[in-house]
Structures are given as C-alpha cells and as structure tokens.
Structure 1
C-alpha cells in the first residue's frame, strides 16, 4: 500500500450550520444515512439507537428509540438497498432492525464475537469480484463451474453480506439465510398450507472469518463498493486488506469438513452454512504496519479518487484517521 496525498486544487463547497438533533444521554459514537437519504441513525454510550426522519425545512423527527443492546453501541450502518439498520455493541452482539407496522423492531441478533464489536459494514452484491466465465482458466471442469454459478445465485438470493470487527481480534462475514431456504432446512415446506407466518424475524449465520493479522482490538472495517476488498484497522496501528477468491479446486470431503469446522483454520463452526462456502477463501493482499506511526487508527473508509493523478475514473482510495490527529489517504500499488 502506498500513501497518496494528491490534491486536485478544487475549492471546497460552502457549508452552513443546519440543525441540532438532541436526545441521547451520553456520547454519540456513530451516525449513518440510509441509502435513500430518508432516515438518519445515531448510536450512543447510553445503549440506545435512534432513528430520525427528515421532514421539511431541515427539521428532523424522532421515529424510533431502540434499546435492544445491553451495552454501549459503537457503530450503526444501513443496508445498501433496504431500509434495514445494523448496530454493533459493547455487549458483543450485532443487531438488525426493520420497520414493522409503523414501528421499528429488531429482526435478528448476530452472536459469536467474544468481545466488543466495534464496527460493521455492508457488501454490495453487484460488485462481487467473483465471476464464472467460459474463458476463465481457473474455472476447471464443468461441475466446478456449476458449483460456482450456484454459489453466486445463492448470494444474490440472500442479498448483501455484513462484515464485523471486534476486540476479540477477528473480522467476520455474516450472511442472511433466505426464508425459503430456512423453511426447507427445517422441513416446513413438505406440505402446502394457506397459513402464512407474518414474522419479520430473519436468520443470519456466520459465513467466514478472515485471516488473523491484528494483535490488538480491531476498531474499524470497510467493504469496498468498487472492488469487493475489505479493509480493517485498529489499536495495533495496522491496516490490512483482504480479498475473496475462488479456491483452485473443490473437494467434496473438504466441503464436508468446512461445513463442520469453519472456513479457515482456527475458525469456529458456522451453523447452517452451505457447503458451497468451501468454494472460496479470503486472503490478505496488502498490509501496512505503523500506518500512523506508533498511534492507534480509529477508522478506515473507501472513497472514489478525485485528484488529477487518478489512474482510472473509478479508482478507489482508502482513508484512515488516527490518534496522531492526521488523516491519511492510501492507494493500492
């Protein structure tokens, strides 16, 4: 990774003060806009998540105060295409919320981390780097191509995945189990019925744990919307970049082992995970130690590069902020 501090010389737009949103009883740790821009979410050390709706004339109305967590709430992130919110907490869990009959409620609890969950971020399915092409040298025999194509179809059906980072030194990827898949697994689709379950609860499972590279708490994780790369950073001052790729080959016995024992060596079991997850692996493609000298790094985020030295129109940069009071811009190269 190379540090890049290019500047295209454009002047910043003028910003003006607009409104104060008041209500939390302690430090506000994170804010996030929904994909459509209608909702704003905030979270706090007061263990609550607030959802605000923008009204006319720069006015905001509180539409939900969610108090599902048992500890400080560290981060909130909106689903990229649905009005669903994820929150990460000091209570070691991730919670997902949706609106139901004019009220917001928790629809899933993602448990598994052994310590504070500091950050979460969403994938964008449309930019998955994984493809299955006839001319792809690594695709192998027709059976393997079919397995890979099935995996990609399953991911589209499940929707964007979620990545999380924690004090337990792990970065984990979670996926939704589509309702028809969950029902089939429980034998509920054997007999047709006119009865319908109106519950909006969702089933999510841990799909993978990324290779361990951090020695201290991981504070922030970001999923690139352009390349599908994941970046993590934290207390050890290190920035790590991960990439998902196809395994060179798929062995049925290996798939069985993975389904039982987790994707990577040292992983915990991934309940309900399809054996097709054994078709891919996450690898480290870049690592920067002491990215902010001896200081902790609090946040990383991907952004589109805009300066005059950009190599392509959609080239991405990684932006990091540290306890040294500096903001640094990085490019892969």
Structure 2
C-alpha cells in the first residue's frame, strides 16, 4: 500500500516575512507559529478551518526564531534574535508575558522544555547552551552554561522521558548532556555530519535520535547505554537536494518527516523487518513543491496520527494528512 501527503489547509501565517517555526501544544489543539515579523500567532481549529486565536507581539525587538510549549500547555517560550527568551503564560484564552530571560550575548536560536516542565534549555549564536530551572513561583534561574560547541548552536532538544539534552551546531557536531553530581556535563559528542547540523528529533522511546544537516543527509543515531555512547546506524542520503532544515519523528506512528531548502517535504518509514542496529528507512511520501520557498519546520500533531504541519520562508503554514492512498 502506497502512502501520500495530502494538503488539508494553507494558512497565510506571517505575510511578508518568513515563518520560521511551528509548535503544537501537548493536546494537539493549538499550533504556535513565529516569524521574521517579530510576532507569535496561536492557531486553533474551528469546525473544518484553522483560525488565528491570539497574536503575541511587542515582546521581541527582532525575529522570533523558535517557540516551544511547556508540557502542561500553560506556558509558551519564544527565542529571538534580540538575545532574549520570553515566557508567556496562558490565561483563559489569552497570553501574557510573564518574564524575559536574558544572558546570551546574541541571537537565541532555540528553546525547549524538559519533560518534567522544571527545566528549560536555550542555545545561541554565542556558541553556548544554557539550562534554566523553573520553581513553583514561576521564577527562572540559569543553573549552568555549557560551552561544548565551537560555533553557533542551532538547536536543542530534550529526551522524551529523561533529563538528557542534545544540541546541534554550525560546527557539524551533536552534543549529548546529562546531569552528574549536580553538575551538567557533555557526555558524548557525535561526529559524522560534514556541515552544519540544523535539527534534532528523538523517537518516542528516546533510544534513537535523528539529525538533519546542511550536508543534505539525515542521520539516525542509536544509544548504546553500556558504553555511554551514541552511534550512527543509518544515513539517509540522495533524497534531499539542499539543506535539511528540520526533522520530526512522529511519536504515534514512527514516521520521520523532513523540511528541506529545496521547498520539499518528505516522510520516511522504517522497514519493520530491518535490524534495529542497522535500520532501513524508505521514502514513503513526498511533496516536491510543498511551499514556494525553503521549508523551515515540520511538526507532527502529538495526538492525531498522520497530521503534519509545515512552515516556510513564504510565510505560510501548511497542514497535511499523511495516510495510505485509497
């Protein structure tokens, strides 16, 4: 049976600017988007349509690069090129700016919440990764600054169940961090990509990590706990003609989606009969002209299997259904 990606909706999310990133809340009912217009928009479903529910503005002075929902869904964090991260609190159907996290020397490229909701990680063009602790009074304190990369850090992502953090950088490397004796340290550095690593995504178990790179490949890394290492067990090459800007592993189905600078969106599936230590992934579906310009982000809905959102330099959000063709 062949799968396909069918377009359900196209939203003019950030007209006249890039739409950099999109993030679903934990219930899959709201989608946050951010862009070069310094604005965050919150989208929700009304009947068969997706509409803008809220516009969050006046918090950032420059491009908003990433947004991330807290696990409880009551907070939204936004990372900006103005070197700050803003924390928004949901109140009824609106949002208010709760606090602004400062400290990075320049552009904050990514922000992500730990599964507990008690930790937040940010990364920056200043080559550092910061971990922030959140207390019950909504106070945020930086508990560590990690300087394991030699270049701009593009992306940070938490393990789905553990307080283990991964980061990707312009230095072509991936770093894995864990807390040891009340101190965070880099446990492993993953070498393999030959150019900038733009994005990372853990699978549902957290035992595997996908990475997308400027070298036009996606690599699958597997954890080998016995020797505290991660090893590349598969490389997807020959599918993308330009930079792979984002990868997203669907926690419900195991499908792997990619966003590419060639304007395309692709979905890969693992051969169920392949060896976990030598997995084989095949291209299950693709839309070569998914957007008019670079595709920056792919995001699977956490509750509705096969529902995929993408966004692009063209300012649009597209919502797709990945399913078997009838």
**Structure 1 length-normalised TM:** 0.69
1:170-209 → structure 2 map (5 Å cutoff): 170-179=217-226, 182=227, 202-209=228-235
Alpha carbons of 1:315 and 1:101: their partners in 2 closer, same or farther (altered >3 Å)?
A: same
- Name the CA distance, whole Å, in 2 between partners of 1:34 and 1:22: 19
Residue number in structure 1 paired with 2:157: 77
Residue number in structure 1 paired with 2:119: 39
User: How far is 1:100 from its partner?
Assistant: 1.1
Residue number in structure 2 paired with 1:238: 264
User: How far is 1:247 from its partner?
Assistant: 4.2
Quick check: 1:211–1:284 contact (8 Å CA) kept in 2?
no
Give yes or no for the alignment of 1:297 onto 2:290: no
Question: Secondary structure of the equivalent of 1:246?
Answer: coil
Q: Deviations over 1:228-266 (max 9, x none)?
A: 000011211111100001348xxxxxxxxxxxxxxxxxx
Structure showing the higher strand proportion among its residues? 2
- Name the CA distance, whole Å, in 1 between partners of 2:210 and 2:255: 11
- Name the CA distance, whole Å, in 2 between partners of 1:176 and 1:42: 23
Residue number in structure 2 paired with 1:258: none
For the pair shown, the structure with the greater C-alpha radius of gyration is 1
Q: Deviations over 1:65-109 (max 9, x none)?
A: 101100000000000111000000000000000111111110000
Residue number in structure 2 paired with 1:229: 255
Structure showing the higher helix proportion among its residues? 1
User: How far is 1:325 from its partner?
Assistant: 0.9
User: How far is 1:277 from its partner?
Assistant: 3.2
Give yes or no for the alignment of 1:163 onto 2:163: no
Unaligned runs of 5+ in 2: 11-44, 55-92
Give yes or no for the alignment of 1:3 onto 2:7: yes
Q: What is the aligned counterpart of 1:326 among 305, 316, 322?
A: 316
Alpha carbons of 1:218 and 1:276: their partners in 2 closer, same or farther (altered >3 Å)?
A: closer
Give yes or no for the alignment of 1:57 onto 2:137: yes
- Name the CA distance, whole Å, in 1 between partners of 2:294 and 2:312: 6
Question: Secondary structure of the equivalent of 2:100?
Answer: coil
**Structure 2 length-normalised TM:** 0.71
Flag the structure with more relative contact order, 1 or 2, with Cα contacts below 8 A and sequence separation at least 6.
Answer: 2
Q: What is the aligned counterpart of 2:307 among 317, 328, 331?
A: 317
CA RMSD in angstroms comes to 1.8
User: How far is 1:332 from its partner?
Assistant: 1.3
Residue number in structure 1 paired with 2:65: none
Quick check: 2:222–2:277 contact (8 Å CA) kept in 1?
no
Unaligned runs of 5+ in 1: 126-158, 183-201, 249-274, 306-313
Give yes or no for the alignment of 1:219 onto 2:245: yes
Q: Deviations over 1:106-140 (max 9, x none)?
A: 00000010000000010113xxxxxxxxxxxxxxx
